[in-house]
Structure 1
Amino acid sequence: MAFALGLSLFICGISQLFSGACAQSGPSFAHQLCPPGWIQVKNRCFTLQNQALSFAQAQNKCKSFNSNLVSIRRELERGVVNALIVEAPDVNQAWIGLSINNTNSVWTDESDTTFANTQISNATVDGCVLTRATGWEVANCSRPLPYVCSRNVFDCFSICRLETNDTSPVGIAPIGIGGPGSPAFDITSLLV
């Protein structure tokens, strides 16, 4: 419990630093759209899995959660992933969803690699990318490591409710409809 609260406050601080908005985590937020154990930041859900797996095994495991190994597309997301690793006991590095082949970088979810290319420059070996608090590194893809999965909140919207057995009505109302405590909310506030 203390770990979850500390992580929530740490990620909230990181999120406010980069965007002015607080990440959502845990059951205390009224409109949490990610399953339990996941952290919501803007329109994405993130989770660190401490089980050490190869890159391919980790991607398969993320797929079983209806997600991918995390793609990091901006500084805020890099900060969130770093926070997950720094705050986790006994974890100092983890797989992210980037691989390098013939100096070309590719995310497992096929996201744009512009930001990634600024983090991994002059990669001269093929491999898969792990992250540490100190930066990214290309490593042997068969190396067993913890890993970070992510998925889009909107991909998760109905799936997550099923995963949590949540049968409460959730509506999406136009802007300005639905007051405090209402299940309807302004979904545009989640957009990047």
Structure 2
Amino acid sequence: MHGPPWVGWPLVLLCAAAGAYCLVRSRTGPAAERGAARGEGLMALGMAAMAWPAAAPPAWSPWLFTAVFGAAGLWALARRHLHHAVGAGAMAYMALAMELPPGQWGPAGHLDGMGRTAGMSAMGHPAPGGVPLLTGLLLVYFTVYVIAAGVRLAPAAVITVPDGPAADAGPPGVLRACRVAMGIGMLAMLLAL
């Protein structure tokens, strides 16, 4: 992943913890949640692997991530899990963007009139990797997702039953909290792109 290690390591820990919990939940949780928990867990572990800060990742790693997440996205589409398909597609996109590090999207060595290479921004920093419009759309999608999922984490109101005690909907599920954490992780990875 592009970006400083102080961003990468917490992201690795967050995604690995969410992935481990989701995979455990896929074996012990309610039957209705098992498939979704398995998908979330595998995606979180993939995010942890991709966020691993490495000085020089192997040359084959972006292609492996692209293939794995591309296949996961197609599988999610076949199962009609749109959010998982968008997440896997975003991961495949970021893996492709890893192939050319920031600043390498233009012709190498080409200088503009101000002495900057084609991949440099006006501030002299490397230009962001990827396609800005697609990155922006993914940032909007995951921002809305995180906010909406975060709102759903708020405890439900106490329900009063006329002839019985008050019923509480219970605390928010940890699986939903993992989804919010993974959405935040996806935002961090897109911003580091």
TM-score range relative to shorter protein: under 0.3
Higher strand share: 1
Rg larger for:
2
TM-score (norm 2): 0.23
Is the helix fraction higher in 1 or 2?
2
TM-score by length of 1: 0.24
